[in-house]
Amino acid sequence: MSASTVPPLAIPPAMPVQRPRWRRRLRRYGPAWLGGGVVLLWILIAILAPWISPFPPDAQDVVNRLQPPGATHWLGTDVLGRDVFSRLLHGARLSLLAGFTVVLLGAAIGTTVGIVAAWARGFWDEALMRLTDLVLCFPPIILALAIAAGLGIGTQNTILAMLVVWWPKFARLGRALALVQRGQEYVEAATVLGLKPSRILGRHVLPNTLGPLAVLVTLDLGNAILTFAGLSFLGLGVVPPTPEWGSMVAEGRELVEQWWIAAFPGLAILTVVVGFNFCGDGLRDWLDPRARSR
């Protein structure tokens, strides 16, 4: 056989480069870890605010009013000479507390309503779901604004107004998840064995619905904090001079030259909301087996 007829050597196809496992996880869950770190930092700040604040949040110093950020007042002072940094730290306590209270209570009430409706069916299912639809017909912020205006200014009234509009989304999700679980074989087996409905719901159905509910709770925490700040910005939240991020933004909305009064509370709201959104996205990917296998 001549050299011209010798077939060329077959070159195997190049194998795809496998990235290290830690790098894939960092790329997938990096924003979630970053968001979790930001949220954890704000929670620690809210807990330690009375000890790390350089000034009392309500201490007025009219002589040094509207001072820009400097060595004494790191984030400047407001129209009454109060230290913006100290008020920002104490405002984290109320904003985070309101957000967690509204979302956790709303999740508990809504999930209970949804699971009961899915299990009872018939009249109770129709009645509870029509009530849910009635609340969902109104934009949440508008309905919360109307209820808060009717109840009056105050933190408790604002939280109550938000609770009225917060539970329906969890009721819808809880009902859908409970209907899926109700058709599973383990529920039918538990029913045949004679277990009480309360035990089936509490020991079997509810634990299998916690994953999607936890994702919604995490994503909704930022939304609740933003809504609470919006109501306070409109004058329906906290009672002055209580420090709260939304009311602090409202105090500086007309002070264009004194930008620090509204800018720093606005940045605080932004970081918390983005942090919770990153955490919720990461938790959703982690709970999805298809996403974890990639």
- Mind listing the pLDDT tens digit for each residue in 177-204? 888 887 777 777 777 777 777 777 777 7
**Full set of structural domains in the chain with CATH:** 30-42+83-288 (1.10.3720.10)
Q: Phi and psi at residue 158, in whole multiples of 5°?
A: -65, -45
Confidence of residue 267 (pLDDT cuts 50, 70, 90): very high
Average pLDDT for residues 41-54, to the nearest whole number? 94
Q: Which two tokens stand for residue 81?
A: 């000479």
* pTM, to two decimals: 0.84
> Is the pLDDT confidence value at 88 over 90?
yes
Cα–Cα distance, 259 to 60 (Å, whole number) = 19
- Mind listing the pLDDT tens digit for each residue in 11-21? 556 555 555 56
Cα–Cα distance, 112 to 2 (Å, whole number) = 84
> Is the pLDDT confidence value at 117 over 70?
yes
Interhelix angle 155-182/84-120, nearest 10 degrees:
40
